[in-house]
Amino acid sequence: MSATDDFLGPVFSQVLLRNPGEEEFHQAVREVLDSLGRVVAKHPHYGDAGLIERLCEPERQIIFRVCWMDDDGQVQINRGFRVQFNSALGPYKGGLRFHPSVNLGIVKFLGFEQVFKNALTGMPIGGGKGGSDFDPKGKSDAEIMRFCQAFVTELSRHIGEYTDVPAGDIGVGQREIGYMFGQYKRMTNRYESGVFTGKGLSWGGSRVRKEATGFGAVYFLAEMLRNRSIDLAGKKAVVSGSGNVALHTMEKLIGLGATVLACSDSSGYVVDEDGIDVELLKEIKERRRGRIEKYVEIKGNGAHFSTSGSLWTVPCDLAIPAATQNELTGKDARSLVENGVLAVVEGANMPCTPEAVRMFQEAGILFGPGKASNAGGVATSALEMQQNASRDSWTFEQTEERLAEIMKDIHDHCAQTADEYGLPGNYVAGANIGGFVRVADAMSALGII
């Protein structure tokens, strides 16, 4: 066992001891610590002053009760969370997730990932995350409004454009951001545009924000392929999910000449050998708010829906898991490798299990970790904050060009960092180390706080 293992092992043991039962958080921390041995060996000062231990401990964890009334006049009670993880680089920045699975461990894992993701963008933003176990599915607009107003009434005392800037995530789109921003404005008597991102264009939002995470993942993928002299055009792709990230991932893949064969939602998956019709899928998911099986009913010949088996058994060149954490298992990875996949890029946060990541790396498959490849959303959120601060509004083309530049810079920084530490082609290590160094240097400069 090396000296760095002797040092980092106890750090992880302390994380396990202080955060029992939070498996996703343990997984996220372990992945980063596994990359830091070479950093501490080369630059021992990163092991001083409890820096890594501090980085693994959130600056603030907020849990609160959310009481609201449903359409039947019954009082409902949910739990709200905000984990303000690290503000060394700027105000906390990260989304809000409304889903029954949300708990403190999930929010901490997302917040920890967000710290490194935000650092990789090169923008002055720290990392945080939040949400609630509230389920928006099946709720009326009035119920969602009342919940959002109750949620942000409590959250409002902890956020602000110079403190903490929430955005959307699973279950939180422009509708929910609107209700929360409206209540915040009502309470504070300030039109503080920069306190939320993901806003509507007519009230302080940024063009490309809706598309940014999906578009950014494809830009990152294109750079990975270009680095190996492989053209994206003509390739066949499979994308999990059919929410905002997945839809715009598919849209950009098709725009750059690839064919998307399959996508999914929680009810099953659709395969269309002619290529997924993204505009039809948007109609079903965004406007009708329907299930993905409707796609087959409307499209007809050439498409089929399945509730059994795995989406990842569909042979493809490119795989983009864009639904939720730990959705792509070792078994799924084996199917992809055996079917000749060229590259896997995470569109969601940590959607591949550690076993799956290991299998891709051992097989020499290009693998883009979420903290790098899906950073386009938060990067464009930072651009939205920039536009709010200057009372400006950029064109779609101007904003997308800036997004593409940021994703190229993230790719290049990850690749160069991996090379510097003797791990060429290892984007996981490059992202972890690159993000860590930026945050750690800022923490050191600010003193022991």
Q: Which residue positions form the known binding site?
A: 93, 114, 117, 168, 213, 244, 381
Helices 23-42, 427-446: axis angle to 10 degrees equals 80
Half-sphere exposure of 203 (CA within 13 A, CB side): 17
Give binding residues for NAD(+) as ranges: 213, 244
Which among 197, 169, 170 has a CA at the least distance from the CA of 181? 197
Q: What residues have CB less than 8 Å from 58, skipping those under 6 apart?
A: 83, 84, 85, 86, 108, 111
| Position 316, amino acid | C
What is the SS3 assignment for 320?
strand
Task: Assess whether 235 carries a catalytic annotation.
Answer: no
Cα-Cα-Cα-Cα dihedral sign, residues 434, 366, 317, 269 = negative
d(CA 385, CA 205): 9
Lay out the sheet containing 268-272: strands in order across. Answer: 303-306, 268-272, 259-265, 236-240, 318-321, 343-345, 366-368
d(CA 317, CA 336): 9
d(CA 31, CA 187): 41
d(CA 34, CA 433): 10
Locate 72 and state its tokens: 């039947």
Q: What residues have CB less than 8 Å from 8, skipping those under 6 apart?
A: 33, 36, 37, 40, 52
Residue recorded with tokens 């933003």: 125
Locate 115 and state its tokens: 């710290």
Give binding residues for substrate as ranges: 93, 114, 117, 168, 381
What does the CA dihedral 200, 411, 434, 352 come to, rounded to 10 degrees? 80
Rounded to the nearest angstrom, the gap between the alpha carbon of residue 398 and the centroid of all alpha carbons in its chain is 23
Q: Which secondary-structure segment (H or E) carries 222?
A: helix 212-227
Q: Which of 108, 129, 235, 299 is catalytic?
A: 129
d(CA 399, CA 395): 6
d(CA 412, CA 224): 9
Cβ contact 377:244 at 8 Å: no
Cβ neighbours of 218 (radius 10 Å): 30
Which among 132, 130, 85 has a CA at the least distance from the CA of 107? 130
Q: What share of the chain is helix, strand, coil (3-state, %, to 5)?
A: 50, 15, 30
Q: Which residues are catalytic?
A: 129
